[in-house]
Structure 1
Amino acid sequence: MNLSEHLSKEILAQYGVAIPTGRLATSPEEAEARCREIEATKYVVKAQIGAGGRGLSGGVKFAATPSAVRTEAARMIGKRLVTEQTGSAGEMVNSVYVEEAIEIAASYYLSLAFDQHDGQPVLLCSAKGGVEFEQAAQMDPDIVSHLTLPSDGTFDEEAVGAFLEKSGIPANSRDGVIAIAKGAAKAFFANDATLVEINPLAVRKDGSAVAVDAKISLDGNALFRHPEYEDLASDGQLDELERIAQDNDINFVRMSGNIGVVVNGAGLGLATNDMIVDAGGSPANFMDIRTTTTSLQIAKGIGMLLQDDSVRVVLVNVHGGGMTACDTVAEGFAIAYSRAKRKPPVVVRLAGTNAVWALEMLKNRRLEFEAFDEMGEAVERAVEIARTGRV
């Protein structure tokens, strides 16, 4: 679950991370009124969406007066903001965050995440932060250094200080960056976050550091440990389809491709999407049917795919086992197709518990589909249909 900037900063502030003074507003008039509560000579108006890349897409604007704040807010609120991370559809801006503009002497990048290879928490840092950081990092990954952290959340200031020095953070900035890193690490571990990102991490002329922009992603599977975050979806940061999926025990992320993917298990879902890309195709979504999901809930999830005009074919790749049997998924699929007006071609690969019965169920429901025993064959066929349109 990706949190908007103002919520991310609110959490970080609870752990001692310095942030600029800011206010949230849902209308241009409120933005003007709220900025008058901030003691500043210059303001920043920021569109509140879940995706990054706002600064290069008109989602971050400076304003010298409250009336200018109102003008900039009016240009954002109620509009869709398209960035490199949103896809062509963009994200609706329902609110803006107005805060004091910071005089920046130096800006850096700092984040905490998990290493995808060994699952260990890591601290990432770069001496080249700012709005163009991601482009710079893509061109030269070596500008980002990483330090593996103890999984128990222990923070060794001496080790972090040596790491920052190696990363190119100058001595006059180091104490301020360490303070930010320490608070960010506390927030990361205490809230079961998968990402805490601060960019830019700004250092003023006096050496004090402040998180000018921040983003936190929470592990949705750990939310049962954090009842205080149950209402965060109402903040508007979840895509409508993702909210429907969440309500039906399905992990779902919309993507920009044309192959709808139905999978049980996060690992199988990632592998399936990777195979689609390797075969020259493009997945329209990531879907993970949880072990507790019922056939009716599965039908809801599949129904979302069938309403998406960009989906040219649906690939079902299910390995039945544990609490999710193949026939449960097949029943949900049949229900969804019986209700749908739009019925794109279906490619199926079923294995494991009740796979044979599931295929029979789909046949008995008179659902037209192509079945394959091997994942690779099913993926290649789905990619072919998406590419050529021929069934």
Structure 2
Amino acid sequence: MKVHEYQAKELFAAYGIPVKSHRLCQTAHEAVEAYRSMGAEEVVLKAQVLTGGRGKAGGIKLANTVEEVENKARQILGMTIKDYPVQKILLCEAEDISAEFYVSFVVDRNQKSVVLIMSTEGGVEIESVAWEAPEKIHRHSIDPLIGLPDFLARRYAFCLFSQIDEANQLAVILQKLYKLFVEKDASLVEVNPLVLTPTGKLVAIDAKMTFDDNAMFRQPEIEPLAELSEEEQVEASAKAKGFSYVSLNGEIGCMVNGAGLAMATMDMIKLQGGTPANFLDIGGSSNPRKVIEAMKLLLSDSRVKVVLINIFGGITRCDDVATGLLAAFNEIESDIPVIVRLTGTNENEGRELLKGSRFLVAQTMCEATRKAVDIASKSY
């Protein structure tokens, strides 16, 4: 789960991480009023969208008069950045900068730990630094049993600073960032850039955070911050109904029971020359209502040309799936072809129920995927 910069900065401030004064605005008029109330000579207007590359797209602008604030606010609010329309801007007090740094904590699944990543090359895409100048990237794995005590925080801080005052400031910021990361179940906390001002102060100019979706049940203050895209809303709705759904870009809708079988089904579709429209695992359930909801979800995708249902009857009984399919098409009007492959518990009973219906029944997974690909290719 991603949050906007203004939301991340509010969390930073709550944990004592230094950030500049800022105001969230949704109109140019609000931006002007915020500028007047802040009393700053120069401000930065920053588009609030859940994607990177705002600066390159023109979504970050400086202003130092009321007229400039109003004009640039209108420009940014009318933008679309990587398909994200800009509906909010953050007005931040500008800061003089002597140097820029990069600092982040991220979960590294290969290391099986949180990793601290730092660089003297702040303010640019860290991926390009890692590619072009990897020696400028400092990585430190954090032992979860030890955390980030004072001595380690100072040791890591001296990787970026040689002056004791600056290193001490960074050490404190690192400890607070790590505490925020752990306590809020984050998967990423990033400051880019962390700037050193001419007066020797470190300030987080930008803030980025993502959170572990699976931990939101214990983060009641974080979960409401989610701003879901249309696809993410569909996935969240599917989860609430008891199955796992991920939208893809293909034309063959898939309904499968079991994540492993779902992955194998998508592989078979690709092997046959087709493209899956989704990952959909209805799980180990014989509930016909779940089948109905899953079918409604698949058929709501306008890209779907054919539906492939691949069921292995273990806990899930094939006759219950067949009953659910028949019930679903009593509620749903659709002429989209549906191919069904049932095998396992009560497979014969399930196939018998589907005889004479609008469903195309296949005996094997290979046969089912081949039929789906053929039908999808002929529908163009």
The TM-score normalised by the length of structure 2 is: 0.76
Gaps of 5+ in 1: 83-89
1:101 maps to 2:94: yes
Q: CA 1:253 to 1:197, structure 2 compared with 1: closer, same or farther past 3 Å?
A: farther
Tell me how far 1:343 sits from its aligned partner. 3.5
How far apart in 2 are the matches of 1:252 and 1:151? Answer: 32
Q: How many corresponding residue pairs?
A: 373
Q: Which amino acid aligns with 1:212?
A: I
The TM-score normalised by the length of structure 1 is: 0.74
How far apart in 2 are the matches of 1:301 and 1:320? Answer: 17
Give 3-state SS (helix, strand or coil) of 1:23's partner. Answer: strand
Give yes or no for contact 2:319–2:353 (8 Å, CA) kept in 1: no
Give the structure 2 partner of residue 145 of structure 1: 138
Q: Percent identity?
A: 34
Give the structure 2 partner of residue 183 of structure 1: 176
Tell me how far 1:34 sits from its aligned partner. 1.6
Q: Which amino acid aligns with 1:95?
A: K
Give 3-state SS (helix, strand or coil) of 1:121's partner. Answer: strand
Q: Which amino acid aligns with 1:238?
A: L
Give 3-state SS (helix, strand or coil) of 1:67's partner. Answer: helix
Give the structure 2 partner of residue 226 of structure 1: 219
Tell me how far 1:203 sits from its aligned partner. 1.9
How far apart in 2 are the matches of 1:203 and 1:275? Answer: 54
Give the structure 2 partner of residue 245 of structure 1: 235
Match of 1:114 among 103, 107, 112: 107
Match of 1:170 among 147, 161, 167: 161
Give yes or no for contact 1:258–1:284 (8 Å, CA) kept in 2: yes
Give 3-state SS (helix, strand or coil) of 2:147's partner. Answer: coil
Give the structure 2 partner of residue 194 of structure 1: 187
Give the structure 1 partner of residue 9 of structure 2: 9
RMSD: 4.3
Q: Which amino acid aligns with 2:153?
A: V
How far apart in 1 are the matches of 2:317 and 2:199? Answer: 62
How far apart in 2 are the matches of 1:112 and 1:216? Answer: 10
Give 3-state SS (helix, strand or coil) of 1:56's partner. Answer: coil
Give yes or no for contact 1:80–1:92 (8 Å, CA) kept in 2: yes
Tell me how far 1:134 sits from its aligned partner. 3.2
Q: CA 1:356 to 1:292, structure 2 compared with 1: closer, same or farther past 3 Å?
A: closer
Tell me how far 1:21 sits from its aligned partner. 1.0
Alignment of 1:3-42 (within 5 A): 3-42=3-42
Tell me how far 1:266 sits from its aligned partner. 7.3
Give the structure 1 partner of residue 152 of structure 2: 159
Give yes or no for contact 1:248–1:298 (8 Å, CA) kept in 2: no
Give yes or no for contact 1:307–1:342 (8 Å, CA) kept in 2: no
Q: CA 1:138 to 1:22, structure 2 compared with 1: closer, same or farther past 3 Å?
A: same
Give 3-state SS (helix, strand or coil) of 2:11's partner. Answer: helix
1:213-238 alpha-carbon deviations (Å, 9 max, x no partner): 112112222222122234223xxx21
How far apart in 1 are the matches of 2:196 and 2:74? Answer: 31
Give the structure 1 partner of residue 205 of structure 2: 212
How far apart in 2 are the matches of 1:145 and 1:281? Answer: 43
Tell me how far 1:49 sits from its aligned partner. 1.6
Gaps of 5+ in 2: none
Q: CA 1:25 to 1:147, structure 2 compared with 1: closer, same or farther past 3 Å?
A: same
Instruction: Name the stretch that deviates more: 62-71 or 132-141.
Output: 132-141
Larger radius of gyration: 2
